Amino acid sequence: MKQLRIVGILAGAVAVALACRNDPTSSLRGGPKFIDMSANQLFMSAGDARAFQVVVRDEQLNPLDASVTVTSNAPSVATVVADTTTPSANGTLHNFVISAIAADTAYIVVTSGGLRDSAQVIVQ
């Protein structure tokens, strides 16, 4: 009887180990799904500069090492350049500096892996 119980426990342990060997959420790590920005809307005065960060994430919200393009749709209102003074240790965090030029509204457009998002910059 005791041997039968031990065999049952071992069989249960093997079944659990086999069931857990595959990651049931692995399909959610199939590539870029979201662009995460440090701000969706910025209010700035002409002459100001602000840090702007971008992270590309998969469906599980894991940060990805992905190429990012960031541009301004109105460079006469606001410009954006890569911030080379704060590099990312693993390539998942992309740092930029937005500079306000003249009073009006501009959009900072972020693209990566077929995704696109934007942040509104209101310069006063």
Predicted model pTM: 0.77
Determine if residue 39 is left, alpha or beta; phi over 0 gives left, psi from -120 to 50 gives alpha, anything else beta: beta
In this prediction, residue 20 carries a pLDDT of 59
Percent of the chain with pLDDT over 70: 77
Q: Are 108 and 74 in contact (CB under 8 A)?
A: no
Structure tokens at 45: 């005065």
Query: In 10 A of CB 115, how many CB atoms?
Result: 16
Triad 64, 66, 70: Cα angle to 5° = 125
pLDDT tens per residue, range 7-64: 667 666 666 655 556 666 666 567 899 999 999 999 999 999 999 999 999 999 999 9
Higher-pLDDT residue of 101, 15? 101
Residue 70 has pLDDT above 90, yes or no: yes
Judged by DSSP in three states, 122 sits in: strand
CATH of domain 28-123: 2.60.40.10
